[in-house]
Structure formats: C-alpha cells, structure tokens
Amino acid sequence: MTYLRTLPKDSRAASPVVATILLVAITIALAATIYVMMSAFVGPTQYGPQYIGVVVEMRGGNWTLTIVSVPTGLLPKSTYVLIRDANLNLLLEKLPLSALTRTNWATYHVHYDGSNPTVEEIAAGDRIDIDRSWYAAPSIIEISDASRILTTQRLG
C-alpha cells in the first residue's frame, strides 16, 4: 500500500520569500567581506608617505646627509639615528636627533643641524653631519621614529 501526500491546491509555497531573504543576506555578507579585505590593502592615506629622503655627500672630513623629503610632524626629539658598520655591529646607539648637538660632537661625532631654528619640526634642508674618520665607509645609518624605520643609507 502506497501513501501519497498531496498538498492542498490553495496553499502557496514560502520558498520564494525565503530565497529572496537568503539572497539579500548573502549579498550583504559578501559586500562586507570585500570591504574589509580592500580596506586592509588601501590603509589610511591622509598621512602621506612615511619615509625620509636624504642625499649623502662627502664634505671635507665629514659625511653630510641632507634631508630632501620628510613626513609632516616629525620632531628631532622623537626621531632617532643609529649607525652600524658593514657587519651590522652597532657603532652609534639609537639617539634622538635632538641629542646630536654641536656641544655633543666630541662624544658622538654626529651633529644634527636644523635649517630653520625657528621651526621645531624636521624639514627639507636639515642636515646631519657625520665624522668620516669615526664612521668609515661603508657604515650604515638608520633614521627611525618610535614605530618604523624611515630610511637606511650606506655611507660611502
């Protein structure tokens, strides 16, 4: 004996409503996933590039690093310099640019010279003088802030 179940002729199926709700939910979830993935690639753009452009020259007995581009808001007290030799041994410990004054030249043999003393921020045109006899080629200078390396340059 076979039992067949029959649907009443006046009932409507709920599947078109359920299908529409599912389609909308899947579309929203997919759009949100794509947004999150793409925002990780793009990142914040309002702050501009986070690196310092420098030109290295030999002037007399010194290396001179002239800053040609710099992110806004960098201060000498929170921007650091360290120098390593070619084997990556530390020659100059990480020091803020503000500590590299003319009076400290005899101690560190490095001097930071802001091009405009009335401006507190680091600016294009500022210089870092490094004693060549103390830091011979091919020493490596690294300039950083609290969270990232802004530039690495080989001297010589």
Kindly give the confidence (pLDDT) of every residue in the chain, 156 residues in length, as a single tens digit, with 9 standing for 90 and above.
566 666 555 555 567 788 888 888 999 988 888 888 777 666 554 455 578 999 999 988 899 999 999 988 889 999 999 999 999 999 999 999 999 999 999 999 999 998 777 788 999 999 999 999 999 989 999 999 988 899 999 988
Question: Does 6 reside within a domain?
Answer: no
Report the phi/psi class of residue 23: left, alpha or beta, with left for phi > 0 and alpha for psi in -120 to 50.
alpha
Do both 32 and 78 map to the same domain?
Answer: no
Encoded amino acid at 150, one letter: L
Do both 96 and 37 map to the same domain?
Answer: no
Using an 8 Å Cβ cutoff, are 83 and 92 in contact? Answer: yes
User: In this predicted structure, what is the pLDDT of residue 17?
Assistant: 80
User: In this predicted structure, what is the pLDDT of residue 48?
Assistant: 52
Do both 39 and 111 map to the same domain?
Answer: no
User: In this predicted structure, what is the pLDDT of residue 5?
Assistant: 64
DSSP state for residue 120 in the 8-state scheme: -
Do both 80 and 142 map to the same domain?
Answer: yes
Do both 24 and 75 map to the same domain?
Answer: no
CA distance 93 to 108: 9
Do both 81 and 123 map to the same domain?
Answer: yes
CATH code, 143: 2.60.40
Question: Does 104 reside within a domain?
Answer: yes
Range of the domain at 99: 53-154
Do both 110 and 63 map to the same domain?
Answer: yes
Would strands 127-131 and 62-69 be described as parallel, antiparallel, or unpaired? antiparallel
Please state, in angstroms and as integers, the Cα–Cα distance from residue 66 to each residue in 16, 56, 121, 125, 129, following that order.
70, 7, 15, 6, 9
